[in-house]
Structure 1
Amino acid sequence: MPTVSDFVIRRIREWGVSRVFGFPGDGIGEFDGALGKAQRDEDGLDYVRPTHEEICALMATAHAKFTGEVGVCIATSSPGGFHMLNGLYDAKMDNQPVVAIVGQQGLNALGTSNQQASHLERTFSDVAVYVQTVLSPEQAQAVVDTAFRTARIKLGPAVIILPHDVQGMEFSPLTPENWVSRSSAVAPSTAICPPEDDIKRAASIINAGKKVTFLVGHGANGATDEVLEAAKKAGAGIITALRGKQVVPADVPFHSQQLGLLGSLPSYNQMKDCDTLVMLGTNYPYGQFLPKSGQARAIQVDLKPEQMGLRYPTELNLWGDVKTTLDALIPHLEAKTDLAWQDKVANEMVEWENEMEAQATLTFDDGVNPRRVFFELNKRLPATAIVTADAGTTADWYGHHIRLQRGMLGDLSGRLATMLAAMPYATSAKFAHSERPVICTIGDGAFQMLGMNELITVKKYMKQWQNPQLIIVVLHNNDLEQVSWEMRTEDANPVWSTSQDVESIDYAGWAELLGFTGIRVRTDDEVPAAWDRAFATQGVTLIDAYTSRNVPPLPPHITLEFAENTGEALLKHDPHTVEVIKDTAKAVVTEGVERVKGKLHIGDDDKRES
């Protein structure tokens, strides 16, 4: 007779899942035993066990991002479940379908202060779109199906709690019975289209606009052709949120990449001047970079209705899938004949790319220019590359210099912006697309968190990958650099070395210890050859790039507050004042020269602040 665990494993497969990310423990022991039996019988799941439960949850989230499937992670009771929380919040805040299966002590232990018994439903109630403990075999089917269905529809993590004794109880086919739900492993369609009247109203708003901007997020994934067709008819410029990079190819001339502190000047100018804003599958959180209230008529299209009209006062909210909605909208759009707005965006992007190249080719006395690392990577990206970026200045350089072409993938922890995610994201990408080259870009602070551990996971599993090429570049500057700059620019505080310094480690040596290729880069001239060698290596390569900690992540538009706070922080005896002044001066001068060369428009605010 099959057990509840046997049934749950079979049901997970019926939901289209073939791979799970788990870490064992006694609270989930019966279920783990069933996983092992199913795998031996060749009827189980591909079980990946990294080095920490947090990594399990981050890998499940990344799997959802890179495949569109439901990611599944498994952990034992209290400590294991608690460790998964950060990764589950990543899924929640980036709207990803994930199901977590968490062990629990036996039913009789609940509420008795037993070891590792805690109120898990209460713990997961904030992060989960659905959380439920399975209390009997008859309940298991409905709980599993509801968890998967809810994760898909509400785009977030669902949690199934399995007490240890319930895991081993016998499971019988369900019969008609009061209080017993007989459910199905069938997901509802999310190809939702708004009513025709709303579609026509949206078209009339866009048709009336003379300066239309599309702000495109990861929620538009799979709708690349529709986004481009609509933008061409509307004469629109396109901005992508950081997680929407892969949606719009970089070679589209009127795609001005990202917005905000790690965005481009053409994107800033679009938001400053547009008269119509169309938000497609994005919950872009930085309202200070959106148009002034009343400046632009705005439309938002999203599958998350609670997030519509939240960042900007929209005139029309369309609850729908971006691809399906645009399919219905495009026939109603009038083809613009005046493309001056779109051409302006394209021309400014040419000038911006020149500025980014000039910034990347600067040299500094205190280490490799981190921009150069990303600039040279971008020139060498294979057609099927997957790039992951970490939080911090890694994300700045990713936004400024990585240009994803059609067919490439790239992602990071978005709204949560948790450190260390780049490494489990990259490893998860290798499991999901083992034939593709994957490049992980990560800072030394994040790499020391759990990233170094995950090289052990890579060593354990890389033989399963069709193409073993995985490249990790560590920005080795011995500093939690993003926070250091935030201390200066946001709070006018000098860097506090006690909190900010990162112990220097031979990261290339650590890779070599595990049998991988390690490359040390100490000068800018060594960067191109390092990338060439890494891409020529059919295996795992770690590039240990000794970068400057003082290169400023300059926003495209420097505000007076940014400049004043930085100056005040340096006057308070910042330990790196001399290097920061030298490196910042070089970067700012280069920025000014390039903008004069490009004859970019400089508004009154820019004149005053310069």
Structure 2
Amino acid sequence: MASTASDILVDVLVDWGVDTIFGMPGDGINGIVEALRRRQDEIRFIQVRHEEAAAFAACGYAKFTGRLGVCIATSGPGGLHLLNGLYDAKLDHQPVLAITGLQYHDLVGTYTQQDVELDKVFQDVALYNQRVMGAAHVRNIANLACRTALAHRGVSHITIPVDLQEQGIGADMRAPRNVKGHNTALFAPQLPVPSEAQTRRAVEILDAGKRVVILAGQGALKATDQLERLADKLGAVIVKALLGKAAVPDDSPFTTGQVGLLGTAPSQEALETCDTLLIAGSTFPYIEYYPKPGQARAIQIDIDAARIGLRYPVEAGLVGDCGLALDILTERVRRHEDRSFLKTAQAGKAEWMKLMEERGTRPDLPMKPQVVAWELGKRLSDTAIVACDSGTIATWWARQIPARRGQMHSLSGNLATMAPGVPYAIAAQLAHPGRQVVAYVGDGGFSMLMADFATAVKYKLPIKVIISNNNSLGQIKWEQIAMLGNPEYVCDLQPIDFAKVAEACGGRGFTITDPKDCGATLDAALAHPGPVVVDCLVDTNEPPMPPKVQAKQALHFTEALARGTPDALKIAATVFKGRAREVI
């Protein structure tokens, strides 16, 4: 029986199906933590080592379950630490609720300790953002917060002064208009059906197309069969945004893999030569990789009408669920018998995969990062969940680790922040305890929140953390060199023995330095029943080459080497020794 404002809050969370909260205790949320302690049989509190990890984990939980992710932090700095993970949820459209504390309600704004008005701070990141004014206010606010996050797939935020958290229900006078029970309805959002007029227009465009490309994104993750059926009927090529990596398995005859800077050459060629583009559940942000305006007629499917035409001019916009819209289109379009465009893409994919195998099986020392990704990809289970991080690591994940049917893959998409790999993996393992979960991360990203490997140990979560360790902020290094033509500067990192870190946290650590040992060591790591870190020492001079090297990039590259980039000769040798075919 609820007796305080915090009890009411926990009641609402239970009503909305919340069973996990990520956070750290603190004096600014003591009342809520006590209410959670009394209900620990219904909601588990996962104690992390940094509030940023709590927000990342809540985002990952939403990504890998489709349910509401929840994080909690104390007043002042605790709440501020949530922001990066919450922006990750905002930009990748994930339903997350953040709960924070405030100082005593009658001391807010008086320069008291930790006097940060978090509702004002969170105005941009949160779709719904409110300060609780008393016990009678909690149920209305909490219900709206949960409903808004789920309905609009974004962030909600509730902040509660510490003294009001323990306010008794009888001690707060309900306003006359605040009729009991008026805002308690739970609901599952209904997915809109695309309009008939726009559907007819889309069918006309697809029927007229001769070289059709489908760009699949995060919104198409649950529409694998529908994507393949439509591609088969149209003779279309499916290319994938990073967040759509698992939308279609990479062994599908219809896909050429990822697009963009981290993508594949055949995917880029398909976009450059198509005459029709169907964007399915994606707002892939790199506009320069889309077909040139006027080259292709375009259709877009998106659950959010505001995002139709956001990246490329479209002639038909289908607002609704991707799977439903694709089913409707498949039923109504005519079958295209000409398969020449698809066959050209398939031949390009075969050549590309030969190149990826060559890169992934090189015996060179220092070990190439592609070798680790290639060997890991072969060993993942059919239901594996892979959480990647940002940086050069994302290139090897995108290209060298194939997505198989039944797997889940994700990373920080639009925010592209470092450090979510391990928190995502923790959330995935909690949500799916029987599945293999791997965090594939770089040394820069892992070291930001590496204390949360101890969280995996604490809760006996058998996540496997595979670190591509080049002792460098590699992505920034290559951006300085290839994008700007500047010498590399302040990107080298102090080496850390991550296997020893894992052992110090109570987990298991492995180290790989030689490609001939890579497969066997990964086998041992993946077979270990507990949490594991595999520290893979790789070549710091191996660049993540774009699918097609542009003349401007090549010029900047040579300028940067000439102007004093450290290890310029080694970098040049690494690039041109193994990439003659790519550069040509």
TM-score by length of structure 1 reads 0.92
Deviation at 1:185, TM superposition (A): 4.1
The one-character-per-residue Cα deviations of 1:91-149 (angstroms, maximum 9, x if unpaired) are: 00101000001111122112222211222222000111110011122221221111111
Deviation at 1:78, TM superposition (A): 1.4
Q: Could you tell me how far apart the structure 1 residues matched to 2:414 and 2:33 are?
A: 33
Query: Structure 2 counterpart of 1:489, which letter?
Result: A
- The share of aligned pairs that are identical, in percent, is 39
Q: Could you tell me how far apart the structure 2 residues matched to 1:225 and 1:174 are?
A: 55
Q: Does 1:120 align with 2:113?
A: no
Deviation at 1:513, TM superposition (A): 2.6
In the alignment, which residue of structure 1 is the partner of 2:537?
Answer: 546
In the alignment, which residue of structure 1 is the partner of 2:24?
Answer: 23
Q: Does 1:148 align with 2:167?
A: no
Q: Could you tell me how far apart the structure 2 residues matched to 1:315 and 1:342 are?
A: 23
Q: Could you tell me how far apart the structure 2 residues matched to 1:90 and 1:487 are?
A: 25
SS at match of 1:11: helix
In the alignment, which residue of structure 2 is the partner of 1:58?
Answer: 56
Pick closer, same or farther for the CA change 1:570–1:363 going to 2, 3 Å. farther
TM alignment of 1:334-483, pairs within 5 A: 334-365=334-365, 367-450=366-449, 452-462=450-460, 465=461, 468=462, 470-483=463-476
In the alignment, which residue of structure 1 is the partner of 2:547?
Answer: 556
TM alignment of 1:499-578, pairs within 5 A: 499-578=490-569
Name structure 1 gaps, 5 residues minimum: 593-609
SS at match of 2:395: helix
Query: Structure 1 counterpart of 2:302, which letter?
Result: D
The answer as to whether partners of 2:216 and 2:238 remain within 8 angstroms in 1 is yes
SS at match of 1:100: strand
The answer as to whether partners of 2:5 and 2:136 remain within 8 angstroms in 1 is no
In the alignment, which residue of structure 2 is the partner of 1:189?
Answer: 189
The one-character-per-residue Cα deviations of 1:266-323 (angstroms, maximum 9, x if unpaired) are: 1001110011111111110000000000001111111222222111111122221112
In the alignment, which residue of structure 2 is the partner of 1:68?
Answer: 66
Deviation at 1:393, TM superposition (A): 0.5
Q: Could you tell me how far apart the structure 2 residues matched to 1:401 and 1:257 are?
A: 10
The answer as to whether partners of 1:14 and 1:185 remain within 8 angstroms in 2 is no
SS at match of 1:107: coil
Q: Does 1:13 align with 2:14?
A: yes
The answer as to whether partners of 1:190 and 1:321 remain within 8 angstroms in 2 is no
Q: Could you tell me how far apart the structure 1 residues matched to 2:446 and 2:189 are?
A: 39
Query: Structure 1 counterpart of 2:110, which letter?
Result: T
Query: Structure 1 counterpart of 2:12, which letter?
Result: R
Q: Could you tell me how far apart the structure 1 residues matched to 2:464 and 2:499 are?
A: 12
The answer as to whether partners of 2:59 and 2:89 remain within 8 angstroms in 1 is yes
SS at match of 1:519: strand
Moved more, 277-286 or 1-10: 1-10
Moved more, 526-535 or 566-575: 526-535
Aligned length: 581
Deviation at 1:387, TM superposition (A): 1.0
Q: Could you tell me how far apart the structure 1 residues matched to 2:501 and 2:165 are?
A: 40
Deviation at 1:404, TM superposition (A): 1.0
Deviation at 1:264, TM superposition (A): 0.5
In the alignment, which residue of structure 2 is the partner of 1:132?
Answer: 130
Deviation at 1:32, TM superposition (A): 0.7
Which residue among 92, 100, 103 is the counterpart of 1:102?
Answer: 100
Q: Could you tell me how far apart the structure 1 residues matched to 2:113 and 2:187 are?
A: 37
Query: Structure 2 counterpart of 1:178, which letter?
Result: R
TM-score by length of structure 2 reads 0.97
The one-character-per-residue Cα deviations of 1:521-569 (angstroms, maximum 9, x if unpaired) are: 1111111111121222222222111100111211111001110000000
SS at match of 2:10: helix
In the alignment, which residue of structure 2 is the partner of 1:598?
Answer: none
The one-character-per-residue Cα deviations of 1:320-354 (angstroms, maximum 9, x if unpaired) are: 11122223322211111112212222221111101
Q: Does 1:111 align with 2:109?
A: yes
Q: Could you tell me how far apart the structure 2 residues matched to 1:94 and 1:569 are?
A: 34
Q: Could you tell me how far apart the structure 2 residues matched to 1:352 and 1:174 are?
A: 69
The answer as to whether partners of 1:364 and 1:583 remain within 8 angstroms in 2 is no
The answer as to whether partners of 2:548 and 2:582 remain within 8 angstroms in 1 is no
Deviation at 1:226, TM superposition (A): 1.4
Query: Structure 1 counterpart of 2:63, which letter?
Result: K
The answer as to whether partners of 2:119 and 2:158 remain within 8 angstroms in 1 is no
TM alignment of 1:227-266, pairs within 5 A: 227-266=227-266
Q: Could you tell me how far apart the structure 2 residues matched to 1:540 and 1:113 are?
A: 44
Q: Could you tell me how far apart the structure 2 residues matched to 1:234 and 1:274 are?
A: 13
In the alignment, which residue of structure 2 is the partner of 1:596?
Answer: none
Query: Structure 1 counterpart of 2:127, which letter?
Result: V
Q: Could you tell me how far apart the structure 2 residues matched to 1:18 and 1:448 are?
A: 29
Query: Structure 2 counterpart of 1:37, which letter?
Result: R
In the alignment, which residue of structure 2 is the partner of 1:491?
Answer: 484
Deviation at 1:57, TM superposition (A): 0.2
Pick closer, same or farther for the CA change 1:126–1:52 going to 2, 3 Å. same
Q: Could you tell me how far apart the structure 2 residues matched to 1:22 and 1:507 are?
A: 25
In the alignment, which residue of structure 1 is the partner of 2:313?
Answer: 313
Calculate the aligned-residue CA RMSD, in Å.
1.7
Deviation at 1:474, TM superposition (A): 1.3
The answer as to whether partners of 1:214 and 1:236 remain within 8 angstroms in 2 is yes
The answer as to whether partners of 1:386 and 1:409 remain within 8 angstroms in 2 is yes
TM alignment of 1:143-182, pairs within 5 A: 143-171=141-169, 177-179=176-178, 182=182
SS at match of 1:260: coil
